[in-house]
Structure 1
Amino acid sequence: MTHLKCLREVRVLPRNQAGGADVVVAAFDRMSTDVVTALRRVGSEIGKPIVLIVDELKDDELLLAVECRVVAVLPRTAISDGTLPRIVRTAAEGGAALSPDRLGELFAHMERLWQLVPRRSGLRATELAGREIEVLRLIAEGWETAEIANKLCYSERTVKNILYGITRRLNLRNRSHAVACALRAGII
C-alpha cells in the first residue's frame, strides 16, 4: 500500500509517516480476505479515505470495499497520468469516485439492504427531530431518564414527553421498541 499526502500536490509518504496522510492508495490484483483485513486495519488505524486500485472487483465485493472506507475504485487500466492525482485530491476533499456502473451497483446494493429493514413502524430519520434522535441514542447507550435530562439540560418531564411523543406518534409500544426501530432504520 502507498500512502499519499494531499496538499496542493500529491506526494508519496513512507509507511512510517502514514498517519500524516490525507488519503491511502491501496493496489491489489483482486479482493480477498487478506485484502479486506488489510483495508479494515488501515482504515481503523489511519482513519482516512482509501482509493482502491484493483484489477478485479466482483459486484458483491463493492459494498464490502465501501465498508472498509474505500471512496474510490479504479481498475489499473483506467489510470493515466492525471487520473490518480485527481482522484486522490477528490478523496482528500471528502468526495468519492466510482464509475457510473459501479455507482449503480452500489445503489442497487443499498436498495436491497433498505428493503430488508423492517418498516412496520414507518420510522424514518425525517420523522424525528434532532432532540428525539439524541434521546433515543442516549437510551440505546443505557442512560436513565434522569441522566439524559441532566446531560441534555432538560427536565425529566421533558425527556418523558419526548419519549411519549415518539412512541405515540409512531405507534410504538415502549422506549425499547423505539430504540430497536431507530437502530434497524439506521437512525442511531
Structure 2
Amino acid sequence: MPKPPPAPDDRDDLPDDASLFREAVGPVRGVRSAPRAPGAPPPRPRARMAELDEMEAVQSMRSISHPDPVAAGDVLSHRRESVPPAVFKRLKRGEIAAQDELDLHGANADQAERVLREFIVHAHREMLGCVRVVHGKGLHVAAPFGGPALPVVKNVVDRVLRQRGDVLAFHSTPAAQGGTGAVLVLLAPKRR
C-alpha cells in the first residue's frame, strides 16, 4: 500500500529534489567540451579602392577612345588599315551577306554592351565573316537637360566595335537593310 503524502507542515523537513538526485547519482566528473567543427573560412578582404580606381580608369578610357558622340542620323563607319578599300566599299554597299544578326532594340547601355560582346565572341568562334547588329536609330531618345538627344545604344555599339581586335571593319547598312539603325560588321578570321 502506498504511503500517503505528508502533511503540509511536514514538507519542510524533506530534502529537496536536487540533493536527492546528487545522492542517487553519486560523485561525477566534468565532461570536456567537444572541439568546434571547422566553419567556412572568413571571406578574403576586397581591395575596394583598387576596384574603384579600375572602374574610373575604364570610364575614362571609354571617354578617351571616342570623345565625339554619334547622333541619331550619323553613319557608323570604321576600317582597319589591313582591310583593302575595295572590300570596305563592298561592305558599305551591303554586298557582303550577314551570316547572323543581333537586335538590340529595347536594351539599355549595360545590357547592349554585354550582349554585343557575347555576340561578337560567339560569331568569331563560329568563324562567321560578317554579321549585322541592329541598334536602332535613336530617334525616340529624350534629350536630358535640354541638350541634344543622343542614341545611347548606337554610341555603345560604335565604341565597343572600335575597341575589339576581332573586328576588322564596320559600316552602317544601306537603307534597304536598316540604314543608320543597323551596322554590318566584318570580322577577322579565327586563327588556328
Relative to the length of structure 1, the TM-score reads 0.25
Higher helix share: 1
| Larger relative contact order (CA 8 Å, sep ≥ 6) | 2
Which of structures 1 and 2 has the bigger CA Rg?
2
